[in-house]
Structure 1
Amino acid sequence: MKQKWLLTGTALMLAAALAGCGNTPAADQAAKISMEQAQEAALDAANIEAADADISSATLSEVAGVTCYKVEFTSGDHTYSYSINAESGEVLEASYRDKTVAPVDSTQTDATASGVTTTPAQTAPNTSTSSSAVDEAKAQEIALAHAGVNAADATITKSKLDYDDGRQVYEIEWYANGAKYDYEVAVATGEIVNSGYEAKTVVGTGNSATVSEATAKQTALARVSGATEKDIYEWKLDYDDGRPEYEGKIIYDGSEYEFTIDATTGAVLEWEAETTRK
Structure 2
Amino acid sequence: MIKTKNVFYEEGFKMSFFKKIIGVLATVMILVMGTMQVFAVTLTAEQAKEIALHYVPEGSTHFNTKQDYNKFEIKLYNQKDQTFYEIDINKTTQKMTSFESESQNNFGSIKIVLTEQNAKDIVLKEIPQAQFVTAYLDHDGGLQKYKISFYTSNITGVYKINPENGMILEREIKFVENTIQIPQNTIQNIIQIPEVPNTSMNSGIISMEQAKQIALSKAPNAVIWEIKTDIDDGRLIYEGEMKEGYIEYEFEIDATTGMILEWDIDIDD
What TM-score do the two structures reach when normalised by structure 2?
0.45
Q: Which of the two has greater helix per residue?
A: 1
Structure whose alpha-carbon radius of gyration is higher: 1
Q: Which has the higher contact order (CA 8 A, sep 6+)?
A: 2
What TM-score do the two structures reach when normalised by structure 1?
0.44
